[in-house]
Chain A
């Protein structure tokens, strides 16, 4: 069965501090991992996916199959990064629906 775990409900940091949002997954096949973000009063939107291996808004995430993790990192947090972040796991062939973690709220204080 697919499962995504985000152990922290809330992460509070000061502006300019490094950020790491943790995500662990359980999946027997070849995983497809995503990070989605929801800013205040906005809809859920894709932040990044492991396949593209790109940096979006300064965030990066590396898939570690040995540790079954896909942690989201940013070296210097900005106040506008404050939002709800969800890690999501894509299903196998023919089933693209996402399994979401419970989310981590990031608060960046001035």
Chain B
């Protein structure tokens, strides 16, 4: 089966600019996660979707971050405006009813 797809793989922007990341989960996986991984740390959950509904967004900085999964399939994560501390790898993962999570390759964001 095809894995979780993410794009772009790399992005460099200046602070205060906006950026969007895209994720396409494994077909049939109802649950989708966005994680932020800062250099030297483990991934940290930003938001979890079940189909097109939000299950947990308690750690999402809602003043600048937003995410949607309109048709319950692919998802976008947006940052507007970006700050230097947003430099990180953004990981998307999907799972079938909360079992094993499959991760995408990630998007490496550098904010200058």
Contact = CB atoms under 8 A, between A and B. Distances in A.
A88 B41 CA distance: 12
A46 B55 contact: no
Contacts of B81: none
A44 B56 contact: no
B104 A43 contact: yes
B40 A46 contact: no
- Report the interface size class on chain B: 20 to 34
Q: Which of A43, A102, A103 has the most CB of B within 10 A?
A: A43
Given A43-B105, A46-B101, A96 B95 contact: yes
- Report the interface size class on chain A: 20 to 34
B33 A43 contact: no
A41 to B, nearest CB: 9
A43 B40 contact: no
Interface string B74-112: 000000000000000001000100111111111000000
Interface in A12-70: 43-46, 49
Contact of B45 (A4, A6, A45, A98): A98
B101 A43 contact: no
| A interface, over-half SS | loop
A110 interface: no
B105 A103 contact: no
Interface of B: 3, 31, 33, 40-45, 48, 55-56, 91, 95, 98-106
Given A43-B105, A96-B95, A97-B55, 4 more contacts: A43-B3, A95-B48, A96-B101, A100-B44
6 cross-chain pairs, A with B, having the tightest CB-CB distances, nearest first: A100-B42, A96-B98, A44-B103, A97-B45, A97-B48, A100-B43
